[in-house]
Structures are given as C-alpha cells and as structure tokens.
Structure 1
C-alpha cells in the first residue's frame, strides 16, 4: 500500500534567505500535479531589499524565536484539507523534522538540514560559517545580515564572482539571532526513537555551513534508533549550500519526486 498519498507540498525556507528561492521547485512540482505552498517566516513578508532596508533595527524580526517559526508553519498545516509533504532547506530542514514529529506531515524531505539538538559537527567550515551569525557575544536586540564575504563562504563557495553577487542581491535577508540559536536548546529537540512517516535527507559534498557529514550524522540518529520507519539519505557531489538556486537544482527535485513516488 502506498504511504505517501498527499498532493500538497509545503516548502519551508531556512535562515538568511528569502522564501522566493523555492520558485523553481514550486513550478516543478505544480507541473507534476501538486498544490504547492510557499510562505515566508513571520516578520519576513517582503522583498529581500525591503527587509535589508530595515537592518539592523527590525525589532520584530530580532525578537523572533525559533519556536515561533515552527508554530507558524504548524498553523498553516492545520488550515489545510490534508497533511502535506514537507520539504525544507537548511533551518527549514530541521523544521520539517519537527513538524513530522508532531504528526503534521505525510512525509518530509530535509535538504542540507540544520541538525537537531545534540547532533554536532566539529568541521572547521561549519564553525567558521556560523560563528558570526550566531554572535555568541553579540546583542540579541539587533538582526544579523551576512556580509558578502560570509555569503561567499557559507552559501556560494565554488561559484563565479558574478553569480555570487547576483545571488546575494536576490536572496540575502537579515536574520534573528534568537531564531538561529533556538535549535541549540530544547526548541531543536527530536525524539529519534519515535516512529515517523518517510523521511529523506539530502546533502551536498561542498556545503560549508551544513556539511554532508553533519547531515549523515542526523540521518544515522534515526536509522540507529528503530527499523520500522523509512529513513533515507542521499549525498550529491559538487553541491554547496545554495543548492536550491544552482543550475543543477533539478537533480535534487527529481530525486525528491522519485522518493515521494516510491512510497
């Protein structure tokens, strides 16, 4: 019997970037007959430029907690006629894991995901990418906007300078340090022993900020806990954290569709 029957997909954006990054995926899955929902986080309803113009004194965004983000998407799901398939990138990848744990999804795909509480990486690229955004010694009263050099290293490493500049202007937005610190605490907790609907992890070999090894560790936490639930993992070679916007984005989209169709 097929497990995944939903024809609704909810896309969940990560930190630092506009929700408009899902446009290619939205068109792709709509062409396959799915109803696709792309909604921004709370306090992020605007163009990247409009949101950047509020930096660093966007107090509404600065006060946003990670729990607020998760609850925002949970509320959207509860308004739908059916449980959706959940697809999230980066911090959105952790969010779809949490929503799946709450029984709010028919399946989930976590792309280059932020890890749950207790799943750590000591790779230098991970620490370097997150040191400034987390701002352990910085005020929580102001948002953080990644500099272009941070963007180059954390998201778009390996791309041409022209493409890095274009992607920065089209995507980068300020971020709440409260929200990105949230997964370090109880807001990012996952019960790995709890049975769950089909869950796929996708990683990229060139991702600096969310290394493939970290995504694999996240996957293994589920895989080693129980055998009754479907959990799969796929690493794509040559992919950085800007995976949704790369010319090869359809590699991951097609793989995700195959996963959905398989179950």
Structure 2
C-alpha cells in the first residue's frame, strides 16, 4: 500500500542517555507512511554512539534551555511547521517547541515532567541517583552502568535485551538537565516551564508506560491534568506494562503505531 506524501515533516528528539540514531527504525516507518523524517541529535552529540561516548566534553555543561534553543535553530521559521516526536527529555523539549510556536503538533512519549508537577515517586528518584548523588555532576556528563540502565529503562525487559540496548544506544548525558528537573518547582525561572493554558497551538499527545521508572505514570497524569484545565487540544495514551525503553525495545512499533494513528486522526 502506497501513502501520499505528507506536508509536515517529522523531527524525532531523543532523551537523556540515548543516542539519536536509535530513532532509525522510526524514521524508516514514518517515511514509509509518507512523512519526511529526521532525528537531529542534541547539541554536543557526535554522529555516532561511540564518538559521543569518547567526546563527552561537548555536552558537559548543557542545560535544558540550550537544548530547546538548539532545536529552535534547527527548525527556523519554515512555512510548514514540523511535527515533533520526543522521548523523555525529548518529550519535554517537544512540549516547549509546540508551546512556543515551532511545531504544528507534538507527541511526548514518557516526557520529563514540567514545572508544577508535585509527584515525586521513589522510582523516579532512584533512576536519577546516578546524577543527583554527586553535586559535581551538575557540570559533568554522566553515563549509566548496565545495572543502572536495567532499573531505569529496562525494568520490564530480560537482562539480555536490556544489556543489548545499553551497549547499542547509551551515551553520556549532561547532568545539569537532571538537576534542573529536580529543582523545577523552587526555581522562579525554571527551563522546564511550559504554558499549558495556550489555546493557539497544535495538538499534543502525552503518553506513559505504566511501569516507567524514569518518568512514572503519575507524573505524566499530573501533567495531563494541568493541560486539561486549559482550552488546548491534549490527549493521554497509556501503554500497559511498558517501561522507559518503549521507544527502543522490541515493542517499539506498537508505540510508533499509536503515534501514527493519532497524527492521522488530527489530519497530519
């Protein structure tokens, strides 16, 4: 079955600790459905996983504001705005780009919480400990061990699948982003602030896995409730039994299909 070319391009944005090339299966699927799709990495990322692991200095002091600005620069001011699909911190960035007029629509998959969220589940704290346990990590790039990755990302997977994903896709991540997330509600100008009351923006799909440790379901539900108080088009989809690895593990296509179906219902 052939698909007509779509007007809006798609930009995939990865989250902390995962390289942008992990989006390749998504790119191929979306292109097969008629979309032009790309996955530009974060500022400071190198072209490959191995190069990024070796050249960590490029990302050591990056914060959320620099990452958002990076994607704003990539997007520019095109006549036809892109659709943003982001995972984890990429999901937070997607919401900021949508609210600031840089996107036509956004899909935020297990997105990092925005300012105003009060829930702080124990699993989320434990997942962030590799960064938060050392204040010096504020200015460092931090990697996850395979054991830390298994708890944070691969808790619903076998050890074998989790270890394979860790080896294939993990990269160091700027610790500053985690500290900014942790201090969001006590920072008057937190870069995690998103205007959830906008009427004049495109549709947003929030998703969450019920077993996610990095961004537990109750966090995403609270974000959704913040949006529900406003007039904007926001929906929530819950993936039963899925953890934070849902965009890269063996069940990734189920997640991608939900995003594609939702975009179709919104006319994209």
TM-score by length of structure 2 reads 0.89
Against the structure 1 CA distance between its residues 194 and 81, is the aligned structure 2 distance closer, same or farther, given a 3 Å change threshold? closer
Residue among 246, 250, 268 paired with 1:247? 250
Structure 1: distance between partners of 2:29 and 2:179: 33
1:192 matches 2:196: yes
Aligned equivalent of 1:140: 138
Task: Indicate yes or no: 2:24 matched with 1:20.
Answer: no
Return the structure number with greater relative CO, CA threshold 8 A, min gap 6.
Answer: 1
Query: Is the contact made by 1:126 and 1:208 (CA closer than 8 Å) also made in structure 2?
Result: yes
Partner Cα separation in structure 2 for residue 6 and residue 190 of structure 1: 27
Q: How does 1:51-62 map to 2 (within 5 A)?
A: 51-54=52-55, 58-62=56-60
Counterparts of 2:160 and 2:43 in 1: how far apart (Å)? 31
> Displacement, 1:137?
2.5
SS of equivalent to 1:179: helix
Q: Which residue of 2 aligns with 1:207?
A: 212
CA RMSD across the alignment: 1.6
- After TM superposition, the runs of 4+ consecutive aligned structure 1 residues lying more than 6 A away are none
For structure 1, the 5+ residue unaligned runs are none
Does the CA-based 8 Å contact 1:11-1:36 persist in structure 2? yes
Deviation at 1:17, TM superposition (A): 0.9
Find the counterpart in structure 1 of residue 225 from structure 2: 220
* Superposition pairs of residues 84-163 of structure 1, within 5 angstroms: 84-135=82-133, 137-163=135-161
The TM-score with structure 1 as length reference comes to: 0.91
2: CA distance, partners of 1:213 / 1:69: 25
- CA change 1:139–1:158 in 2 (3 A) is closer
| Cα-to-partner distance string for 1:75-130 (whole Å, 9 max, x where unaligned) | 11116452001110000000000001101111110000001112132221111111
Does structure 1 retain, via aligned residues, the 8 Å contact 2:156–2:242? Answer: no
Q: CA–CA distance in 1 between the matches of 2:117 and 2:50?
A: 34
Deviation at 1:243, TM superposition (A): 0.5
Q: How many residues align?
A: 254
Among candidates 227, 236, 239, match of residue 236 of structure 1 = 239
Where structure 2 has 5 or more consecutive residues not aligned to the other structure, the ranges are 1-5
